[in-house]
Amino acid sequence: MSIHFKENNNYFVLIFWLLFAKSLQLRFETFTFRFFYDKVQVANRKGKIVLMKYDRLQEILKQLNNTGSVKVTDLSKMLNVTEETIRKDLATLEKEKKLKRVRGGAYQPKTLDKEVPVLLRETMLKEEKQNMAGKCLQFIEDGESVALDSSTTSLSIATLLSMTTLKITVISNSLDIANVLKDHKSIKLIIIGGNFRNVTHSFIGVNAQNVISRYLIDKAFISSSGISLHIGPTDYSEEESLIRKQFLQQSEKNYLVVDHTKFDFRTIHLIDDFSHISTIITDQKPSPEWMHFFQNNNIQLIY
């Protein structure tokens, strides 16, 4: 009886190991299938290889480390997935606090400088900025000196100016504006030098402020990161705010050009109070409270 029991026991052990081995084989085959299917699922339809989500996230982080910012459209083309997939990937990384999402992409905010990089800001509210720039051009006349700050809104103004025959002097601390206007035959271009700030492609610092103080400017067009009813226009960067303030102080007429998203929002550095602002140019009609404020303070509103 004992021998028969041992034989049965060995038989059950054998069956157990066979089932266990079969289970391992199935698990391995399932893992292998899922891995390779995820790698080639788009290749079957479009002839392109698609990375798994983990690999996509690592590639996105790699691009962020290299450039500081990424665009949804660029990532979609590079990784061969839809823009919606990229947005979900960016949302995942934002939850992990590895990036900050904005409209059209994402960036890595620095500890002390949280401003959106210029390459991303150029894609945000692009049509609205072009419309505001068109309104600004109505105030610029031949023979005038015009200051343009390093905002992407001012870059839109410069782009429109490059298509005109206006004979003016443009003073700016923006490298991008310099590139847009450098070949214009009737525009005298003065670029304010100083310390180069990569995130905005601009020149800042005490030397830049000192140079601006030597000029008498007819009109200044500046933007801001936010505009607060009881404080004024504010900026993320202290040094950019000082450059903008210097432009305002040297100019006879000052135009604050801000889209609707800047209203009722403030950052840490005050540019100046509203007493130095002649006109507000925006893309939408502000709230009744703002309308009342502009009227009481004799500030012209264009929208």
Dump pLDDT digits (tens) for 51-63.
Answer: 788 888 888 888 8
- How far apart (Å, rounded) are the C-alpha atoms in residues 250 and 220? 9
CA distances, 274 to each of 228, 232, 255, 256, 291 (Å): 10, 6, 11, 10, 14
Highest mean pLDDT: which range of 69-83, 90-104, 125-139: 125-139
- How far apart (Å, rounded) are the C-alpha atoms in residues 167 and 145? 9
Q: Provide the residue range defining the domain that includes 154.
A: 122-301
Could you tell me which of 296, 232, 302 has the C-alpha nearest to residue 263? 232
**Does 184 lie in the same domain as 48?**
no
Could you tell me which of 75, 69, 56 has the C-alpha nearest to residue 101? 69
Answer yes or no: is pLDDT of 101 > 60: yes
Q: What single-letter DSSP state applies at residue 94?
A: H
**How many domains is the chain partitioned into structurally?**
2
| Continuous H helices in 41-165 | 43-46, 53-67, 72-79, 83-95, 118-121, 126-137, 152-161
| Domain harbouring 239, CATH code | 3.40.50.1360
Taking the model in full, what pTM does it have? Answer: 0.64
Residue 232's DSSP bridge partners are 228
Q: Considering the domain boundaries, does residue 280 fall inside one?
A: yes
Percent of the chain with pLDDT over 90: 53
Rg of the chain in Å (alpha carbons): 29
- How far apart (Å, rounded) are the C-alpha atoms in residues 210 and 72? 40
- For the stretch 202-243, pLDDT in tens is 999 999 999 999 999 999 999 999 999 989 999 989 999 999
**Does 259 lie in the same domain as 174?**
yes
**Does 130 lie in the same domain as 94?**
no
- For the stretch 11-52, pLDDT in tens is 565 566 666 666 666 555 555 545 444 444 444 345 566 778
CA 201 from chain centre, in angstroms, equals 13
Could you tell me which of 217, 228, 47, 242 has the C-alpha nearest to residue 147? 217
